[in-house]
Chains A and B, each alone.
Chain A
Amino acid sequence: MSIYIHKAGLYSSLQDKGRLAGMTYGVPISGAMDQNLYHFTNTVLENPADLSSMEFYQQGLELEFTSPTFMCIGALGGDFKLNDIAVEPFKILKIKRGDLLKIKQLTRGNWGYIAVKGGFESERPFNSQSFYKPITKRQFENDDVLIYKAFDGESGGEAPVLDMSYYKTSELEVFKGPEFYKLNHTLDYQLKHADFSLSRSLNRMAYQIQERLANDLEEIITGPVLPGTVQFTPAGKMIVLMRDAQVTGGYPRILQFSEKSINQLSQMRVKSKFTFKLTEINSKKI
């Protein structure tokens, strides 16, 4: 009743919607980097959208299933083989004992998800299975075992289709951050009109933007931050906090990504270009 991990790949971990219960103890929210893709992958299997899923980064996984289940790969594009036969993402794949899944690489996006019918079993500190050291282990390693309940029933039939246009934009929706009002006209103009690109520094804690802007703002008194908060460092770097970000920070918070744009950014690769679309947060009223 498990997946035996022959090759764990890079930064593979168990993720779900994340945990808010630990924030007052300094525990990050965590959760799947791309919540949209993670939810969708569960939906394909007719799982509740917030069941835990295995998240992986770009390449190099080899997983053996020891019990029957239904499995779905959530990924924007890549090279996936089940028992050496090519398989597609977002399909309901019937798994039997001994099946071997090989993920060579993702051809689009950074993060992919492997969901099974009924989700995975693991400890739930602060009401979430998301990995975050020192609350849980940091990431999967070769020869680890991931438990799930065997499922031998019928599949739900036709799988829904992911709206890929969600990921085709290079315009990322942002709101004004708490310190935006302190920016001078030049910075205000640059943020609204310039092209930006992603640096090499991308991880579950933060994505750094390559371009630097002149920063004459003072540091702030340490205050609350959230995934999607854009911190502006004294050296002029912009750091977009991601799911494993600390819960407090001392750099000016100049922008705030929307939940949708955090998901979009999470899948952008090094050197990807984008612009900010500054939106009034209250204009989003439903």
Chain B
Amino acid sequence: MTNKSARIFQLNECSILIEFDREITKNLLYFLLNLKENIFLNKREHILQVTNTYNSVLVIYKSTINNFNSEKNNYFELISNLSTTDIPKSSTRKISVCYELDFGLDLEEVSEKTGLSISEIIKRHTHPVYTVYFIGFLPGFPYLGGMDSSLFCRRKSTPRSKINSGSVGIAGSQTGIYPSSSPGGWQIIGRTPLSLFDSHKTDTPCVLSPGDSLQFESISKEEFDNLQSHPSDIKP
């Protein structure tokens, strides 16, 4: 990785933002995850947390950063010495989604906006293998990459005051799953019975992690009801 694409910026007294001005790809994601791991290894004594998004890594220090320039040079050196990581082969997790209109509250609006029939929307949403880039917005909310561009659809002009947990939505080029009830402006096209976040499992509270692969599979309302009442039947 060349240094040219990296911008290293002090965000506040205790945090440094490393941002890459590059196209968002799985390669960049795996590079960022590798960078995160290396920062943890090199600076474990001085930092509290390292997070990533599509093209950024945020490093939060234990105390005020007194020598930003030297930290910046360290990061440039680390980035230029870090080899591009091969994308590891991971198994693809299947996530059951019921796309019936009871749950797919905005399927008709998405159909109107994209010019695709509802059955075509479901076909194109269940076809790709998606990558989890990071978790943000709400506890356990996965930001997914890899959606079919014909499904790109603007957020609702007026956000809903409540979107039920498990709702699967589209916003622009992104698709994601609401892990808990929340207000939100995403176009809702279905719902999964899978619970994505459990705060009591503090070591692994999220079912999904950055780098995971997943694919949606369409289920009927009856299957949804069965899985919701017997969550142990949901494949791990």
Contact = CB atoms under 8 A, between A and B. Distances in A.
A binds B: yes
A223 B51 contact: no
B136 A126 contact: no
Interface string A121-145: 0000110000000110000000000
10 contacts: A25-B139, A126-B202, A134-B197, A134-B199, A178-B19, A222-B143, A229-B11, A247-B136, A256-B12, A281-B13
Given A25-B206, A175-B12, A222-B53, A286 B136 contact: no
Contacts of A135: 139, 199
Interface string A214-228: 000000011110101
A22 B205 contact: yes
B49 A24 contact: yes
B136 A20 contact: no
Interface of B: 9-13, 15, 17, 19, 24, 48-49, 51, 53-56, 58, 60, 64, 66-69, 134-141, 143, 174, 180, 197, 199-200, 202, 205-206, 210
A246 B11 contact: no
A26 interface: yes
B137 A248 contact: yes
A246 B199 CA distance: 16
A119 B224 CA distance: 45
A284 B64 contact: yes
Nearest to B208: A25
A286 B17 CA distance: 21
Contact of A23 (B9, B51, B66, B200): B51
A26 to B, nearest CB: 4
Contacts of B137: 26, 246, 248
Interface in A240-286: 246-248, 256-259, 281-282, 284-286
A223 B56 contact: yes
Contacts of B139: 22, 25-27, 134-135
Contacts of A248: 53, 134, 136-137, 143
A224 B51 contact: yes
Given A24-B135, A26-B141, A282-B10, A224 B49 contact: no
A20 B137 CA distance: 15
Nearest to B36: A24
A224 B202 contact: no
